Amino acid sequence: MNDKPARSRILIVDDLPGNIKVLAELLKDEYDISMTTQGQDALRLAQNGTLELILLDIVMPDLDGFEVCRRLRENPRTRGIPVIFVTGQGDTEDEARGFAMGAVDYITKPFSAPIVRARVKTHLGLKLAREQIEKSNQEIRHLNDNLVAVLSEQKKANALLDRANQFIRSTFGRYMSEDVVATILDSPDGLRLGGEKREVTVMMSDLRGFTLLSERRAPEEVVAMLNRYLEIMTEILLQYNGTIIEFMGDGILALFGAPIRRMDDPQRAVACALAMQLAMERVNTENRRRCFPEFKMGVGLNTGMVVAGNIGSDKRTKYGVVGSAINLTARIESLTVGGQVLISDATAQACGPILAIEQSWEVMPKGAGKPLTIHQVSGIGAPYGLHLPPTEALQLHPLTPPLKVRVRVMEGKHAGLAEHTGTLIALTPPMAELLSDLHAERLTNLQIELYDEQGQRITRDLYAKVLTEDDGQGRQTIHFTSTPPEAEEFFEKVCQSRPLPETHH
């Protein structure tokens, strides 16, 4: 007798066979996979009643994904099949339209393998749990018609419901913290839409230059690098009782103070951020072993009021958070360079003298009504006792002749139209001295087009952040935040050919 449980059957629909192959490789060890590149074929395959879940692209030659999803929901035989959009269309309007068509989830490309696996498991689990609960409810209704056996049968029904809840707890726990799962399941109103206003410390982290790196590497390498990084960071966040709200590609959004509030939330959030920075050596050790490039991460923290709770619709709900404190945290994180932890003044005051502040300054983030004081944290005292290694002062190589550059100011994720000419007059990566007519404010993000001594362009994908104010003559120190391989190789040759001058004491 074969007691092995039946494997769930998943249909992957995408007009590009290469995308289908990547998803199939991720899931084939746990599920039976069917594949098609046509929307009409997807509707036909869904009719046979054996599909448990559909991974659906939006852009297809015959019927687009939105139309396929709409027809699935209109058909009584297929409306119960969960649909997850897996698409390169990441606009908020597209995501909202996907949920309006009846999808249960929306994943943008390039995706993370753990997120795809976790969400597939979650929605298959929720489908099974709903079926178990419906079966339990049918049994309870039947028991109410048979009062003689109601007590014994009620016990049986409760056991079935308890098993269903345990299944949901286990399934949710694969990619949500236990605090969130407990809040959703342990209270009678746990699944009800709505939220509450509370003070939290928000954390956002992001890898510097990862978007450019992902465009230049094979998908398998990108996924492998991202998986290892997220695995280590998730382990630390859960260790410090952080609630992971969302993975945003290579970025992480987490809360300290919701759904469970603790007295040391701000201090624990800063300690967690420092622990994450210290753990980057583990990430990069593995990257070096596998001949992958090294990563640098920036972390921003802010303490403020948010609305946290279950957000969504009756068809799809997630634990989320909204409020201006989230936007402010994103702005603080955008000001970091690799290896930094920057916090708002509100977080610094909430933590008190336990913090080691390396430097503080005022900035005027885009959209803010008044200057914002931010602090660079290098350590935290007892009971955490975490300190980042001291930053060594770099001596820059003078460049004679200087290197020609063209510079544009970044406006969000896009470079502005105004172009400025300039030169790099000194260099020791990741730092350089820029001489230009730009006169940029401190912490401004720049896109740099780099040329060699003969005027040949090396790259236009060099990015940097301004570290110092203009000295009055157009000189400013910059820190490279994303350096493509061709620029790294060029900088190495330049520095080797122009040794530092000797220092006499």
Its pTM stands at: 0.62
The candidate with the shortest Cα–Cα distance to 161, out of 129, 190, 187, is: 129
- CATH code for the domain of 56: 3.40.50.2300
278 with 345, same domain: the answer is yes
The candidate with the shortest Cα–Cα distance to 257, out of 192, 203, 206, is: 203
Output the CA–CA distances (angstroms, integers) from residue 460 to 213, 405, 447, 451, 463, in the order listed: 14, 9, 7, 9, 9
| Percent of the chain predicted with pLDDT > 70 | 83
Six-digit token pair at 157? Answer: 């029904």
371 with 224, same domain: the answer is yes
Higher pLDDT, 496 or 229: 229
The mean predicted confidence, pLDDT, of the chain is: 83
229 with 354, same domain: the answer is yes
Higher pLDDT, 88 or 158: 88
- Among the ranges given (188-202, 228-242, 358-372, 459-473), the one the predictor scored with the smallest mean pLDDT: 188-202
Q: Which of residues 91, 111, 131 is at a domain's end?
A: 111
Q: Are 185 and 168 spatial neighbours (Cβ–Cβ below 8 Å)?
A: yes
Q: Are 182 and 311 spatial neighbours (Cβ–Cβ below 8 Å)?
A: no
Six-digit token pair at 250? Answer: 């290579």
The answer, yes or no, to whether residue 367 has pLDDT greater than 70, is no
342 with 230, same domain: the answer is yes
In a domain, 170, yes or no: yes
| Tally of domains within the chain | 4
Q: How confident is the model at residue 355 (pLDDT cuts 50, 70, 90)?
A: very high
CA dist 473 and 435 (Å) reads 8
The answer, yes or no, to whether residue 160 has pLDDT greater than 70, is no
235 with 372, same domain: the answer is yes
Q: Are 60 and 13 spatial neighbours (Cβ–Cβ below 8 Å)?
A: yes
In a domain, 183, yes or no: no
The candidate with the shortest Cα–Cα distance to 303, out of 351, 243, 259, 362, is: 351
Six-digit token pair at 220? Answer: 């398998």
Q: How confident is the model at residue 352 (pLDDT cuts 50, 70, 90)?
A: very high
In a domain, 232, yes or no: yes
In a domain, 504, yes or no: no
pLDDT at 127: 81
Residue 502: partners with Cβ closer than 8 Å, 6 or more residues away: none
pLDDT at 503: 47
Polymer length in residues for the chain: 505
* Residues β-bridged to residue 44: none
327 with 220, same domain: the answer is yes
The candidate with the shortest Cα–Cα distance to 498, out of 398, 403, 423, is: 398
377 with 452, same domain: the answer is no
In a domain, 160, yes or no: yes
Would you call 143 exposed, middle or buried from its count of C-beta atoms within 10 A (0-12, 13-18, 19+)?
A: middle
The candidate with the shortest Cα–Cα distance to 83, out of 53, 50, 107, 63, is: 53
Q: Which of residues 354, 387, 420 is at a domain's end?
A: 387
- Which string of DSSP letters, residue by residue, matches 46-99? HTTS---EEEE-S--SSS-HHHHHHHHHHSTTTTTS-EEEEES---HHHHHHHH
Q: Are 358 and 377 spatial neighbours (Cβ–Cβ below 8 Å)?
A: yes
264 with 382, same domain: the answer is yes
240 with 143, same domain: the answer is no
Six-digit token pair at 72? Answer: 């699935």
Taking residue 221's Cβ as centre, other Cβ atoms within 10 Å add up to 16
Q: Which of residues 111, 138, 155 is at a domain's end?
A: 111
332 with 217, same domain: the answer is yes
Output the CA–CA distances (angstroms, integers) from residue 167 to 86, 133, 181, 192, 223, in the order listed: 25, 11, 11, 19, 29
Would the CA dihedral through 313, 319, 325, 331 be positive or negative? negative
CA dist 223 and 166 (Å) reads 31
In a domain, 1, yes or no: no
The answer, yes or no, to whether residue 500 has pLDDT greater than 90, is no
pLDDT per residue as tens digits for the range 305-339: 998 876 666 565 566 788 889 889 988 998 888 89
CA dist 502 and 505 (Å) reads 10
Which residue range is the domain that position 414 belongs to?
397-497
The answer, yes or no, to whether residue 299 has pLDDT greater than 70, is yes
In a domain, 479, yes or no: yes
CA dist 94 and 63 (Å) reads 16
- CATH code for the domain of 252: 3.30.70.1230
pLDDT at 179: 59
In a domain, 184, yes or no: no
SS3 for 434-491 is EEECCCCCCCCEEEEEEECCCCCEEEEEEEEEECCCCCCCCEEEEEEEECCHHHHHHH
Q: How confident is the model at residue 245 (pLDDT cuts 50, 70, 90)?
A: confident
248, amino acid identity: M
The answer, yes or no, to whether residue 191 has pLDDT greater than 50, is no
**Peptide bond preceding 390: is omega within 30 degrees of 0, i.e. cis?**
no
362 with 416, same domain: the answer is no
135 with 220, same domain: the answer is no
